[in-house]
Amino acid sequence: MSNHLVVIPAFNEEANVASVVADARASLPGFDVLVIDDGSGDDTAAVARHAGARVLRLPVNSGYGVALQSGYKYAVRQGYAIVAQMDADGQHRAEFMPQLLALVQDGSADIVIGSRFLDQDGHYQPSRARKVGMSVFSAMASRIMRQHVSDPTSGYQVMRHDVARFFCSDVYPADYPDADILILLHRSGFRVAEVAVQMRMPTGKSMHSGHKSIYYVYKMFLSILVTMLRPAVEKRA
């Protein structure tokens, strides 16, 4: 077994998951690949397993945060030193993962986020509504953390074992772990960094689309407020 793991949460991604697994295995040859099948109604699990991934199946669709946390719990129990994560829809390109990994391995950061907007090259163009929301939460996170945070909603990440272990606790959001969790990491003494990456525009329906976008904005504001009011959670050595 490798000492490194990449976690890929997936829900009804039978059309994309094989290429995502292949991409991860090609760009991260020293990593084990774990797909978390979040109660899919299609053949996501079988396709991922056939592509060479280990598969952990959740009995019902439990949400993005729960799927990720299941991956963290698996990583911690199996003793992985480094945990990476990327989405199963093909948006994330694994070729940039070694750049994030390098900052974790040299001790520069405890968790590194792959940012679509750090280079400001315009390759990624979200809808106007999403862009406004991202900008608001980016500004809030940057101000609270006292460092520039350009992409607080990115699920493209690499982290140390102790960050994954921190995410196994009940402080981790069950639905949308975005700006709130970055702020919590900062307040708990973890070092957060960003690296510029290129991402593809998603082809499927966003989990923040439609009426969910209103709930997401409300929930994120509330979650950030609660994060600021609660005592900082000290990280364990």
Q: What share of the chain is helix, strand, coil (3-state, %, to 5)?
A: 40, 15, 40
**pLDDT band, residue 211 (cuts 50/70/90):** very low
Residue 223 lies in a domain: yes
Residue 234 lies in a domain: no
Residue 235 lies in a domain: no
Cβ proximity of 67 and 39 under 8 Å: no
Q: What is the dihedral of CA 43, 75, 220, 94, to 10 degrees?
A: -60
Would you state the pLDDT for residue 224?
82
Number of domains in the chain: 1
pLDDT tens digits, one per residue of 157-197? 999 999 999 999 988 887 778 889 999 999 999 999 999 99
Please give the residue range of the domain that contains residue 51. 4-229
Query: Would you say the pTM of this structure is higher than 0.85?
Result: yes
pLDDT tens digits, one per residue of 60-117? 999 999 999 999 999 999 999 999 999 999 999 999 999 999 999 999 999 999 999 9
Residue 27 lies in a domain: yes
Residue 207 lies in a domain: yes
Residue 237 lies in a domain: no
Q: Are strands 111-115 and 157-160 parallel, antiparallel or unpaired?
A: antiparallel
Cβ proximity of 71 and 56 under 8 Å: yes
CATH code of the domain in which 206 resides? 3.90.550.10
Residue 236 lies in a domain: no
Give the bridge partners for 113, in sequence order: 157, 194
Residue 178 lies in a domain: yes
